[in-house]
Every structure is written in structure tokens, then in C-alpha cells.
Amino acid sequence: MMYNKIAQLFKNQPGRSLNVYFTAGFPELESTTTILQTLQEAGADLVEIGMPYSDPLADGPTIQQSNTVALNNGMSIKKLFEQLNNVRDTVTLPIILMGYLNPVLQFGFENFCREAARVGVDGLIIPDMPLVEYEEEYQAIFEKYNLSAIFLITPQTSEDRIRKIDDLTNAFIYMVSTASTTGNTVAGTDNQLAYFERIKQMNLKNPKLIGFGISDKKSFDLACRYAEGAIIGSAFIKVIQQPTGLQENIRDFIYLIKSGEEIFS
Amino acid sequence: MDFSVDERGYYGKFGGAYIPEMLYPNVEELRQKYLDIIYEPSFQEELDELLRDYVGRPTPLYYAKRLSEKFNTKIYLKREDLAHTGAHKINNTVGQILLAKRLGKKRIIAETGAGQHGVATATVCALAGLECIVYMGQIDTERQKPNVARMKLLGAKVIPVTSGSQTLKDATNEAIRDWISNPEDTHYIIGSVVGPHPYPDMVARFQAVISAEVRQQLLYKEGTEFPNYVVACVGGGSNAAGAFYHYLNEPAVNLVAVEAAGHGVNSGLSAATSVLGSLGIIHGSKTLLMQTEDGQIVEPHSISAGLDYPGIGPMHAHLYDSGRAKFYAITDEEAMQGVVLCSRMEGIIPAIESAHAIAALHYMQLKPDDVVVLNLSGRGDKDLQTIINYLDEHDVQ
């Protein structure tokens, strides 16, 4: 495996990694680069750029709404690659693209991977790409362009399947915190903590990031007790949809999440 | 060429299970168990009894004398409109509720467009004593008010969906989200031959009772099990799947699928997926769907809520792609004329969905000796207000 920024990140910083999701083209068509640069300055560790889709099944209302706005703004995969053309001049954070399979297929799967690699993307999350299709059709293309495939697991995912996913990826495992779409709250129930603990005890070779329901310092800290970090999406979308002070709002939000004493110490 | 589904849920290049991990355990559980459960003798016995005594099967195969004279051919109407709840949808929901009980599920969710599938689901939930939640686009709740009232009376909770186009596509998205959030105790009764494998195959098997009956009934009436044509309307395609099922591998039987052209195929307000669609993924299966160059799903249009869907089931995509079925696209106006024609010539008010199939008879080159079986998938009572409004606006006497 060639040098990969995601693997490097977890090697250098084994815990408390903050992965922030935002939707490309939201709130404004041309916000993408500003948001990326501000996230880097503010101390985010990875970024996940959502490629907007008309029918985002796994997402809740906040992210769906941001997708609709972005599409109405004129965002497309082609446009996103144009925006990311020179991104590596200023942004060193690992960059992951997240999106549903259909728009990627229409772009052309290999074309998509080639373009992603060209602009400096490190990994892809395609939640509705079946594992079996990945192994048979797409894995070779991911590897050809040195892109990491990132897969989700949920409280219902079997141990065998988690082991298989751990074998198939070289970035991190996206641990969906609970049975829900995006935008709910991590409650920290006994069941949930038992699930976090169970996965922690599996000693997987890849780091894990907990997502879905991480919205503030408290839930971020909770996630970091069981995993190498967490992913924040809907809560961040709410921050950037404020009408004014985009950069300042981002800095304040990241600061609040990452700094200070851990509540659970 | 074989037109059945393969082990991984593909019909040719269409099908599969393109679902997020959150749905994987549910769909995998179904995939592993559905065939064993539905072909268990005790399941078959219970299903047959319900289909006979509760649904009212077999539904008649009626020789439509006056329509036959008009089109100078032999037209039989398969009277799914006479099934309990007024459409073929009940065949599938009866089957799936028995399956859900055997899977130990406590809660049922469904999506509905015209409301026929919602009513059929609410009905079997009442029958089985299970909680029922039906997602329905806000626009559809308005144009199908009687069915909303029926679902509520039957004890179902109807949730109006305000996202996207507020029609069937969005109701389906919301039902999928509910299932993601309730993976253990909930069964999702999909109403058409769409969705991830095994749904298209499972729903087709439950609807196959239609063509099984047609074969027997036609043998009695015409001395042959094989008509020259089987005609059915296609939104997602469940009634067509049922009408075609036992003829799929009988090349002498011409399969005719009728889609909704809306205001016209090229008007921008259409649901004619076979013409306007391309290969893509919708609601968990790879099939033909209406989409932009960028792969965003396009809002469909049809006057019939049941055909207002931007995709077709993977079996139908394969039938289209391989040329096994011929597809026609019928406009809103032609469909409404079909409603009037069937009402006045046969005394049967068809659902607007089914009237698309009737209107397609005008385009078929039918010979006097041809035997045509047209699947009259549902009755038009639910559409009465839409029909009255249309006739008033267009001054039809």
C-alpha cells in the first residue's frame, strides 16, 4: 500500500480524532474550499465531503435538507472535482468523499475514482455499495487509485461480517452508534455502551470512528472512550447553515468539541 | 433466456440489494428464510385458505363482450378489482403478513401511492392484530382521501410525507428510514416488485396467483392456457408481475406492459420509465429509472397515484431490455378515456391505473381470433373525485 493520509493520521494520533461531515455546495455553491480550510485551521482531523443526492436514504432530515439546497445551488460531482482541483495546495487533512452509489455510477465508477485520486482524495464512503459488489467489481479499482474503502457497521452487524469488513478496509471502521438515520442523539444507554464495549473488545486491526448522533463535546467524549474518534455531521450542518459568521462559527464549534477537560475521565 | 430471478436477486443485469449496512441484517434474514417459509405446507395451507375465504379468490376471468366487439378481438378482464379491498395488492399483503408473523415481527410498516397497498396492508394488520404504520406522500393523501379514511378506520397510523415530491418515491424513502430505525421488531411490507432482493421476487411470487388462475380459467373458457396477449399497467409493476408470472417463459404469449405517459412522454411530466429511464439504482435495486445525467432521481408525473413512480421493478426492466415484453406509454387523457370506455361499455369503473392498460388496446394490432387477457388491477371508487374533476374540466359528457 502506498502512502495514505488516513492511515498516517491514526498512526500519529491514536485517539480523539474528529471527522467532520459537510455537504458539498451547502450552504453556498462555492463554500466547499472555505469550509475545508477553516476546518483545518480549527483543528478537525479528517473531513468527509458529502456529494449531494436527491434520495439520501440513510440520512435524516437535516442532511437531506442540505442535500436539496446543494442540488438547487447547482452542485454536482463534476463541479465538486473542479472545486477540489487545487485543494491540496492548502489543505493537508485526509479527505473522504461520501455519497450514494447511483450518482457515482452515472459519473462512471472508474472515472470517479481516477478524478478523486487526481485531486487528492484519500477514501470513499458509499453506504449503499454492497460488500459483495465491492469485492467482485470495485475493490480492484479502489486499489488501483490508492483509495481506501470505508464501511459502516451497526449494532446489528454480525461478528463475522465485522471481521470481514476489518479485512477489507485499511482506513477506519465507521461505527454507526445506533439503529437510526443521521441526526439523532447518542443516548449512552446500557445497550449502546455494551455495543461500544463489545466492538472495542474485538481488537480490530483498523481504528474505529463512531458516527450518527455525535453532536457536542459530551457525545464526542463518550465516543472517544470506546473508539479512536467520532464523526459529526448533522450538528455541523446546523452550524454552517447559520446566515452569518461561517468561519467564526466553525472555529467556535470545533473548539468546543475538541478542547477542554474530558467530562468522562 | 430465463426470466426468473437468479440466486443473488438479478434478472439479467437488473436487481440485487443496494442497501446501507443498517438494513443488511433485516434484508439478509428475509433472503435466507423467505423461500423456506412460503413453501412450507402449513404456510401454503393458511395462505390458500385466506386467499379463498378472505380475499375472495379466484377472482373471475370475465369475457368482456362489448369491449371485444369494439376492438374486434376477444378480451378477457381478470377481475382483480373484485378482490377484497378492491385491488390485487391484497394478494401480496396477505402473504407478507403471514411471513412477518413467522419471523416474529410485531410492527408493520408500508408505503403507499394510490392508497391501495396501504389499505391492503392496514387490512391484513387488523386481521393479524399487528401495529401498522403507513407512509404516504402528502399530495397522495389529498388525492386519495377515501383510502386515507379507510386505513385509519382499519386502525393504521397514516404518516403524510412532506419531503421531496411528496409522492410514492418519498413515501418509500421514509418507510426505509423507519425500517433503519427499527431493525428488530419491524417488517416492511413493500407493495410492488421493487426494492432490494428478495422483495421483487417475493412480491412476484405472491402475485403469481393471478396468472396461475388465468391459466386454469382460460383452459376452461378457450380450451387453451395460453392467450395471445397479457396486458397490464406498470408503475412499480406488481400487478403486471403477477399477470405475467406463469407466462414469462412461454414465448408464444405476448406480454404487454403499459406505463403512464402523464402529459406526454416528452412533456417533462411523465412516468414512462422504460422510455425515459436509464440504468441506475433506486430503493435498493439496480433497474431502469428516470434520472438526470448526474444520477439524481427525477420527479415523475401521472394522474394515477399508483403509477407515479420514477422506476420500474428489475424484472420489468429485464423484460423491456430483452424485448420479451412490449411497452406502451398512455397519457393521462387517454387513461381517463379508458375509464369512461370501460365504465360505459362493461359497467365496470376501473382504477385509473388499470385504465392505462385499457387505453393501450387502441395501439395494439389485434386480430379477431386473438385472445387478450387484461389485468383489471383495481376498481375506480378510490379515484372517483379525480375522475369527476377531470370530466368536469374537460367537458366529457
Find out whether the peptide bond into A27 is cis, omega within 30 degrees of 0.
yes
Instruction: Say how far apart CA A184 and CA A195 lie, in whole Å.
Output: 17
Mean pLDDT of B145-156: 95
Instruction: Output the CA–CA distances (angstroms, integers) from residue A240 to A96, B32, B265, in the order listed.
Output: 19, 44, 41
Candidates B18, B21, B281; nearest CB to A154: B21
Mean pLDDT of A81-99: 97
Tell me if residue A17 falls in helix, strand or coil. Answer: strand
Those residues whose C-beta lies under 8 Å from the C-beta of residue B291, and which sit 6 or more positions away, are A102, A106, B277, B278, B280, B297, B298, B310
Residue B147 placed within a domain = yes
For B228-280, what is each residue's pLDDT tens digit? Answer: 999 999 999 999 999 999 999 999 999 999 999 999 999 999 999 999 999 99
The CATH number of whichever domain residue B384 belongs to comes to 3.40.50.1100
- B171 and B81 in a common domain: no
Q: Flag whether pLDDT at B334 surpasses 60.
A: yes
Total Cβ atoms within 10 A of residue B321: 17
Find out whether the peptide bond into B198 is cis, omega within 30 degrees of 0.
yes
Candidates B8, B18, B180; nearest CB to A101: B18
Domain that holds residue B33: 23-51+89-198
> What is the maximal distance between C-alpha atoms in chain B?
56
Last residue of a domain, one of B198, B224, B255: B198
Q: How many CA atoms lie within 13 A of B184 on its CB side?
A: 6
Total Cβ atoms within 10 A of residue B70: 14
The dihedral built from the CA positions of residue A223, A225, A227 and A228, taken in this order, carries a sign that is: positive
Q: Flag whether pLDDT at A2 surpasses 70.
A: no
- B162 and B281 in a common domain: no
Question: What's the burial of B263, exposed, middle or buried (CB within 10 Å: 0-12/13-18/19+)?
Answer: middle
Q: How does DSSP assign B247-282, residue by residue?
A: GTT-TTSEEEEEEEEET-TTSS----HHHH-EEEEE
Residue B12 placed within a domain = no
The pLDDT value recorded for residue A260 is 58
Residue B67 placed within a domain = yes
> Helix B384-393 crosses helix B332-346 at what angle (to 10 degrees)?
110
- Bridge-based pairing of strands B14-15 and B10-11 is antiparallel
Question: What's the burial of B36, exposed, middle or buried (CB within 10 Å: 0-12/13-18/19+)?
Answer: exposed
For A59, the grid coordinates are 440520512
Q: Looking at the DSSP assignment, which residues form a beta bridge with residue B161?
A: B137
For B79-96, what is each residue's pLDDT tens digit? Answer: 999 999 999 999 999 999
Model confidence band, residue B99 (pLDDT cutoffs 50, 70, 90)? very high
Residue B8 placed within a domain = no
Question: What's the burial of B106, exposed, middle or buried (CB within 10 Å: 0-12/13-18/19+)?
Answer: middle
Q: CB of B139 within 8 A of CB of B166?
A: yes
Q: CB of A9 within 8 A of CB of A171?
A: no
Give pTM, 2 decimals: 0.95
CB contact under 8 Å between A105 and B281, yes or no, is: yes
Give percent of chain B above pLDDT 90: 90
- B275 and B163 in a common domain: no
- B306 and B161 in a common domain: no
Task: Give the CA-trace dihedral at B242, B246, B248, B251, to 10 degrees.
Answer: -140
| Residues of chain A positioned with their CB less than 8 A from the CB of B179 | none
Mean pLDDT of A98-103: 98
Give the distance from residue B192's alpha carbon to the nearest chain A alpha carbon, in angstroms. 18
Last residue of a domain, one of B171, B198, B225: B198
Give me the active site residues of B, please: 89, 111, 377
CB contact under 8 Å between A57 and B180, yes or no, is: yes
Whether residue A192 lies within 8 A of chain B, CB to CB, comes out as: no
- B179 and B109 in a common domain: yes
For A207-248, what is each residue's pLDDT tens digit? Answer: 999 999 999 999 999 999 999 999 999 999 999 999 999 999
The end-to-end CA distance of chain B, in Å, is 48
B376, containing H or E segment: strand B371-376
Instruction: Say how far apart CA B362 and CA B193 lie, in whole Å.
Output: 27
Whether residue A64 lies within 8 A of chain B, CB to CB, comes out as: yes
The pLDDT value recorded for residue B164 is 79
| Residues of chain B positioned with their CB less than 8 A from the CB of A53 | 295-296
- B372 and B226 in a common domain: yes
Q: Flag whether pLDDT at A263 surpasses 50.
A: no
Cell 378489482 -> residue:
B81
- B246 and B336 in a common domain: yes
B70, containing H or E segment: helix B65-71
Find out whether the peptide bond into B183 is cis, omega within 30 degrees of 0.
no
The pLDDT value recorded for residue A262 is 46
> What is the maximal distance between C-alpha atoms in chain A?
48
Q: How many CA atoms lie within 13 A of B223 on its CB side?
A: 0
- Bridge-based pairing of strands A152-153 and A148-149 is unpaired
Instruction: Say how far apart CA A3 and CA A29 lie, in whole Å.
Output: 32
Q: In chain A, whose CA is at the least distance from the CA of B161?
A: A61
Q: Flag whether pLDDT at A264 surpasses 80.
A: no
CB contact under 8 Å between B282 and A55, yes or no, is: yes
Query: HEC string of B278-312?
Result: EEEEECCEEEEECECCCCCECCCCCCCHHHCCCEC
The pLDDT value recorded for residue B322 is 97
Question: What's the burial of B54, exposed, middle or buried (CB within 10 Å: 0-12/13-18/19+)?
Answer: middle
Higher pLDDT, A188 or B264: B264
Task: Give the CA-trace dihedral at A51, A54, A60, A66, to 10 degrees.
Answer: 60
Whether residue A181 lies within 8 A of chain B, CB to CB, comes out as: yes
Q: With a threshold of 0.90, tell me whether the complex ipTM lies above it.
A: yes
Instruction: Say how far apart CA B169 and CA B137 lie, in whole Å.
Output: 8
Instruction: Output the CA–CA distances (angstroms, integers) from residue B237 to A106, B207, B240, B245, B378, in the order listed.
Output: 24, 10, 5, 12, 13
Candidates A60, A105, A128; nearest CB to B20: A128
Give percent of chain A above pLDDT 90: 88
Q: What is the mean pLDDT of chain B?
A: 96
Q: CB of A95 within 8 A of CB of A47?
A: yes
Total Cβ atoms within 10 A of residue A229: 25
Give the distance from residue A263's alpha carbon to the nearest chain B alpha carbon, in angstroms. 29
- B357 and B295 in a common domain: yes
Q: How does DSSP assign B101-146, residue by residue?
A: HHTT--EEEEEESSSHHHHHHHHHHHHHT-EEEEEEEHHHHHHTHH
For B257-267, what is each residue's pLDDT tens digit? Answer: 999 999 999 99
Q: How does DSSP assign B234-249, residue by residue?
A: -SS-HHHHHHHGGGTT
- B277 and B159 in a common domain: no
The count of residues in chain B is 397
Q: In chain B, whose CA is at the least distance from the CA of A176?
A: B22
Residue B61 placed within a domain = yes
Q: CB of A52 within 8 A of CB of A264?
A: no
Backbone angles phi and psi of A31, in degrees to 5: -75, -20
Last residue of a domain, one of B198, B223, B242: B198
Count chain A–chain B contacts defined by CB atoms under 8 A: 98
In chain A the beta strands, taken as DSSP E runs, fall at: 17-23, 46-50, 95-98, 123-125, 148-149, 152-153, 173-176, 208-211, 229-232
Give percent of chain B above pLDDT 70: 99
Residue B64 placed within a domain = yes
- B82 and B164 in a common domain: no
Residue B17 placed within a domain = no
Among B143, B146, B88, residue whose Cα is nearest residue B120: B88
Those residues whose C-beta lies under 8 Å from the C-beta of residue B147, and which sit 6 or more positions away, are B112, B114, B115, B116, B118, B119, B382
Give the distance from residue B64's alpha carbon to the nearest chain A alpha carbon, in angstroms. 43
Strand order in the sheet with B14-15: B10-11, B14-15, B285-289, B278-282
Specify the number of domains making up chain B. Answer: 2
Residue B2 placed within a domain = no
- B140 and B122 in a common domain: yes
CB contact under 8 Å between B164 and A55, yes or no, is: yes
Backbone angles phi and psi of A158, in degrees to 5: -70, 160
The pLDDT value recorded for residue A162 is 98
The count of residues in chain A is 265
Residues in chain B whose beta carbon is closer than 8 A to a beta carbon of chain A? 8, 16-22, 24-25, 163-164, 169, 173, 176-177, 180-184, 279-284, 291, 293-297
| Residues of chain B positioned with their CB less than 8 A from the CB of A153 | 21
For A148-186, what is each residue's pLDDT tens digit? Answer: 999 999 999 999 999 999 999 999 999 999 888 888 888
- B273 and B170 in a common domain: no
Q: Flag whether pLDDT at B142 surpasses 50.
A: yes
